[in-house]
Structure 1
Amino acid sequence: MDKKTYQKSVLLCDASFSAIPLLNALQAKGFYVAVCGSRPEDPCHSLADKSYTFDYANTKKLQKIVKDNNFNYLIPGCTDISYKSCAWVARNLGLPGYDNELAVRVINNKDEYRKLGKDQNYPIPAYETESKNFKNLNFPALLKPINSYSGRGILRFENYSQLRNFLDSAQNLLPQDQSLLEEFLTGQLYSHSAFLEAGKIKTDFFVNEYCTVYPYQVNSSHLSIKLPLQVKNKMRSWLKRFAKDLNLVNGLLHTQFIFDGIAIYLIESCRRCPGDLYSLLIHKSTGIDYADLYVSPFINLPYGDIVSITPKYYSRHTLSINRDVIFLSAAMQISNQNISYVPLKKTGELLRAAPIDRAGIFFIEHSDTRTMQDLTRNLYKFAKLETLEIVS
C-alpha cells in the first residue's frame, strides 16, 4: 500500500525479532511503518511497509532519512544504541516521546546514573569510578564498562589484589573513565516496567529474573507473584522521585533491581523496550498489550484502555550456551502441553557464546504459581541444545 494512503508515518529504529511486537502494534493502529537496521536478514525488514538497511548508530544518516522521507514519528526499538540515536535525532527535529538531554545522558551512562543516585540518596550499590579508590570497596566486586549492555564486558574480582593485577597487566589496561567498580550484591534480581503519565505510574509490572548461563545476562523470567507489596511500593516511590528529578516525559521506564530480603538496590534503568520478547511475556501473563503501551507516547497518543485478564503462569527462557558452537536443534524437555518456541537460529548456523547470541526463546505456560516459580529458575536444565563443536 502506498504511503500516501496512511494518515501518519513512523520509522521504527530496529528490525530485529524483538521489535516485531512493536511493528505489529504500530500497523494495528493504521500507521505506515518503515524500519531500519544493519542486518538485512532481520525479520522486520520483510514485515514492514519499507525498510532501510544501515547502522542506526549513524545518527546523521538516521536524521537524513527521517527528514528526507517526512516521517512523522521516530520510535526506538530494543537496544540502547537505538534509543540514544533516536533521542539525538528527535531533539534536533522536535519529535515527541523523548526526554531532555540530561535525562538521556544519565539513564544511558552507568557512571552518571550512579552519580545522580549518590547525590540524591537513591538505593544504589556502593561504587567507585577512580581506580585509586577501588581499594576502598568491599569485595567481591564487579568491574563494569560504563556503556555496556546485556552484561557484556563485566568482570568479577574476589579481592583487591586480583583486581590490581588485572589493571597492571599491559594487555588488560582499560581506557580511563570508561569503567566503574561496584560491590557485588547477593539477592534476587527483578525488573520493574512502569509506564509514566504526567510523572505518575499509569500501570506497572514486576518480573523475577534469573541468570543461569551467563552470570550477568537474564535468560529466564516470570511475572512476580510473591514480591512483597512494601518492596513494590519502595520501587514505585523511587521511580516517582526519579521522574521528578529528571523531568521525565510520558513513557516506559524499565529498571532492574536486586532485593536481598531487606533492602533494594538499583542496577540500571532504560527507556527503550526490553529485548528478547519481554513484551510478549507481559502480554501472555496479563493480557495487557505492553508493545502498544510502549509505542503510544512516541506517536503522540494517550495510552489505550488497560484491560487485564486473570494472570496466567508463563515463563520465558532465552536459549543460550557458554561457548561458540554450530546450532543443530533445540527442545524443552518438560511435561507441559503449552510450550511455544521462537527460533532465532537455523540448522548449521554459528551460535556465539552468551551474552552475544541466542538460539531461540521458549514461552512455557504452567498450571499454577508454584510450578512456575520452581521451574523457571531451573529451565536451563530442561532446555536442550543439539550442536556441533567448531573445529579450528
Structure 2
Amino acid sequence: MIAEKMIKKTIKKSVLLCDASFSAIPLLEALKEKGLRVAVCGSRDADPCHALADESYIFDYSNKSKLLKKFKENNFDYLVPGCTDISYISCAWVAKKLGLPGYDDVRAVKVINQKNEYRKLGKEKGYPIPNHETEIANFKQMKFPALLKPMASFSGRGILRFDKFVELKRFIDCGKFSALGGEFLLEEFVEGRLYSHSAFLKAGKITTDFFVNEYCTIHPYQVNSSYVSTKLSVSVKKQMRIWLEIFAKDLNLADGLLHTQFISDGKRVYLVESCRRCPGDLYSLLIQKSTGINYASLYVSAFINLSPDVETKVSHKNFSRHTLSCNSDVIFAAAEIDIKDAKVSYVPIKKVGELLRAAPMDRAGIFFIEHLARRTMETVTENLYKLSRVQTL
C-alpha cells in the first residue's frame, strides 16, 4: 500500500498542447515548470515544439475527431490550446465532449470565433463595434471608407479597403467578389490607433490586464510592431474594462484569458475582434520582458485547473517587439536591424535559403528591443520597419 502511494506521487500528470509552433514555446515551458509531462501536436514536423516536448504527434489538429481520439488513447489529464484560432476551436470541441477545464460553452465559442456572430451580439447588446453589413444588398447604405472582411480570415488576410461605394460596386459587378469565395462582411473604417487588451478573468472579473500599442507598417491589417502602452488614457482603459466584464457576464465566460484588439481615437473605443487563445508572434514574451509577469503561465493555468500565481513585483522595462516581414516573396538569407543605444535579441523563424512569402502570409523572425528610455521606445517602435531589413539570396 505504501509503495502504491509513493508511485502515485511520482507519476506526473500529462497535458496535450495543441500547437507545436515557435509561438507555443513559452506555453510549453510554462507547463513544464508546473511539473507536467507535456506532449504537443501539429501538422508541421519541423515546428520546434516537436523536439522540445516530452512527446509529439504529427497531425492536423483541425481534425477534431482525431484530436479527441489521440487525447483519449493517451489518457491525458489536460488539453491546452496554442496560438491559433483553429487550435482553440478544436480544443473547445474536445473539452465539451470530455468535460475538461478552462473552456467556454458552445454559444460563447461560436460568438468569439465567428466575426458575424461577434458583431451580431455586439449590435444586440450595444457593444462599441463599428457599423457593418453582411448582406450585399445593404452595402450601399454603409458609410465609406469601408473594409471588406472574410468571415474566416485571421492576421489581416484577405481584407480589402474601398474608399467609395462605386469602387466596391465595380468590384462586385466585374465578378471579383464572387471569385473570392466564402462569406464576407463590410465594416465601416474608423479612425484611430490600434491597441490590444489582454485580460485574465476570475469569476467574470479582471484580475490582471495589459494594454499594448500595435502598429501595422508592412501590411495594413497585420500587426508587426508593438510595445506595452504607456500613454493610453485612463478613460479608454476604463471603457475597455467595463465592456469586458459585461461581455464576460453576457456569455458566462470561463476563467482565463480574453484578448481583444480595439481602435481608439483617444476618447471612444471600437472593438475589432476578441479571442481566448494565446496571441501569436511571442506576444507573451513581450509582456513578460516588459513587466516581469509570466503571461504564458497565467494563460495555461486556466486549462490545467490551477489558480494563476499572483505576481507581486511588476517591472516597467522599455521593450519593443518587431516581427520582420516583407511586401514581396523572397528567398531568405539573413535578418538585420540598425538601432543604437538598445539591447537587441532575435528569434529566427526562417532558415537561409527558405522562401519568405509576402506579409501577411509569412515572417522571417522576431526582434525584441530593450530601449534605454521610454520616450525612445514610444517614438522608435512605429518606425522599426525602416530600421530592419531582410537580406535575400
TM over 0.5: yes
Equivalent position of 2:317 in the other structure: 312
Is 2:294 aligned against 1:292?
no
DSSP 3-state at the match of 2:302: helix
1:269 to 236, 249, 274: 274
For 1:50 and 1:41, locate their aligned partners in 2 and report how far apart those are by CA, in whole Å. Answer: 14
| TM-score (norm: length of structure 2) | 0.96
For 1:358 and 1:180, locate their aligned partners in 2 and report how far apart those are by CA, in whole Å. Answer: 27
For 2:298 and 2:130, locate their aligned partners in 1 and report how far apart those are by CA, in whole Å. Answer: 31
2:65 to 55, 60, 68: 60
Equivalent position of 1:154 in the other structure: 159
For 2:317 and 2:179, locate their aligned partners in 1 and report how far apart those are by CA, in whole Å. Answer: 46
DSSP 3-state at the match of 2:303: helix
1:144/1:153 contact within 8 Å kept: yes
For 2:228 and 2:145, locate their aligned partners in 1 and report how far apart those are by CA, in whole Å. Answer: 30
For 1:38 and 1:156, locate their aligned partners in 2 and report how far apart those are by CA, in whole Å. Answer: 33
2:233/2:266 contact within 8 Å kept: no
For 2:137 and 2:125, locate their aligned partners in 1 and report how far apart those are by CA, in whole Å. Answer: 24
Moved over 4 A (4+): 174-177
Q: CA deviation at 1:306?
A: 1.4
For 1:92 and 1:6, locate their aligned partners in 2 and report how far apart those are by CA, in whole Å. Answer: 25
Is 2:341 aligned against 1:340?
no
Judging changes above 3 Å, is the alpha-carbon distance between structure 1 residues 153 and 6 closer, same or farther for their aligned structure 2 residues? Answer: farther
1:19 to 24, 39, 53: 24
Judging changes above 3 Å, is the alpha-carbon distance between structure 1 residues 64 and 156 closer, same or farther for their aligned structure 2 residues? Answer: same
| TM-score (norm: length of structure 1) | 0.96
1:129/1:177 contact within 8 Å kept: no
Q: List gaps (5 residues or longer) in structure 2.
A: 1-7
Equivalent position of 1:81 in the other structure: 86
Q: Residues 1-392 of structure 1 correspond to what in structure 2 (within 5 A)?
A: 5-173=10-178, 178-388=183-393
DSSP 3-state at the match of 1:302: coil
Q: CA deviation at 1:368?
A: 1.5
Which piece of structure 1 moves more, 326-335 or 167-176?
167-176
DSSP 3-state at the match of 1:173: helix
Please give the root-mean-square deviation of Cα atoms over the aligned residues, in Å: 1.5
Q: CA deviation at 1:136?
A: 0.7
DSSP 3-state at the match of 2:169: helix
In structure 2, what residue type is equivalent to 1:265?
Y
Q: CA deviation at 1:172?
A: 3.6
1:26/1:295 contact within 8 Å kept: yes
For 1:171 and 1:230, locate their aligned partners in 2 and report how far apart those are by CA, in whole Å. Answer: 42
For 1:180 and 1:280, locate their aligned partners in 2 and report how far apart those are by CA, in whole Å. Answer: 33
DSSP 3-state at the match of 1:338: strand
For 1:177 and 1:341, locate their aligned partners in 2 and report how far apart those are by CA, in whole Å. Answer: 37
DSSP 3-state at the match of 2:26: helix
Which piece of structure 1 moves more, 28-37 or 329-338?
329-338
Deviations, residues 162-216 of structure 1 (Å, cap 9, x unaligned) = 1112122235406787110001111110000000000000100000000000000
In structure 1, what residue type is equivalent to 2:227?
H
Q: CA deviation at 1:305?
A: 1.9
Q: CA deviation at 1:337?
A: 3.9
For 2:71 and 2:133, locate their aligned partners in 1 and report how far apart those are by CA, in whole Å. Answer: 40
Q: CA deviation at 1:308?
A: 3.2
Deviations, residues 76-121 of structure 1 (Å, cap 9, x unaligned) = 0000000000000100111110001000000000000000000000
1:205/1:223 contact within 8 Å kept: yes
For 1:344 and 1:6, locate their aligned partners in 2 and report how far apart those are by CA, in whole Å. Answer: 35
Q: CA deviation at 1:367?
A: 1.2
What percent identity do the matched residue pairs reach?
66
2:345/2:368 contact within 8 Å kept: yes
For 1:27 and 1:176, locate their aligned partners in 2 and report how far apart those are by CA, in whole Å. Answer: 43
